[in-house]
Amino acid sequence: MQAQTVLNSGATINLSMIEGQAFSSNFAGTGTQDNVYTVVGAVPPGITIATIPKPPPATSNHEMVISGTPSTPGTYTLNINVSATFFSVPVLYTTTIVINVTAPPVPAPVA
């Protein structure tokens, strides 16, 4: 089971990735029924964002996963708008995710 990061209102989450290396991280919004995630901003090339439902019997707190192999170094900023329901009360909030993709380290020359 993979650890997940909770998306909180107004929070900023910093992620570090290395160009050419696989990455995967799960996130969960707060709520007691299905969460809907809307992404505003561009993810690094090679990275995707998907929503994954929890297996039955769970019917709530679907997760979001950011995964793939980044192919371009740089800094990418996303706003994740979460629409959830908390005990029948609609809840809307935004979490910012900053993704920093760095080039792989250069191997030391062989003597």
Q: What residues have CB less than 8 Å from 57, skipping those under 6 apart?
A: none
Would you tell me how many other CB atoms lie within 10 Å of the CB of residue 68?
A: 17
The pair of three-digit structure tokens given for residue 29, joined into one six-digit string? 């919004």
Give the burial class of 84: count Cβ atoms within 10 A of its Cβ; 0-12 exposed, 13-18 middle, 19 or more buried. Answer: buried
Provide the pLDDT for residue 57: 58
**Per-residue model confidence as pLDDT tens digits over 85-99:** 766 777 788 889 999
Q: What is the mean pLDDT of residues 47-68?
A: 77
**Residue for token digits 């992620």?**
15
Confidence of residue 1 (pLDDT cuts 50, 70, 90): very low
Residue type at position 2: Q
pTM, two decimals, is 0.81
Higher-confidence residue of 1 and 78: namely: 78
pLDDT value at 61 more than 70: no
How much is the mean pLDDT over the chain? Answer: 84
Q: Is the dihedral of CA 11, 23, 50, 74 positive or negative?
A: positive
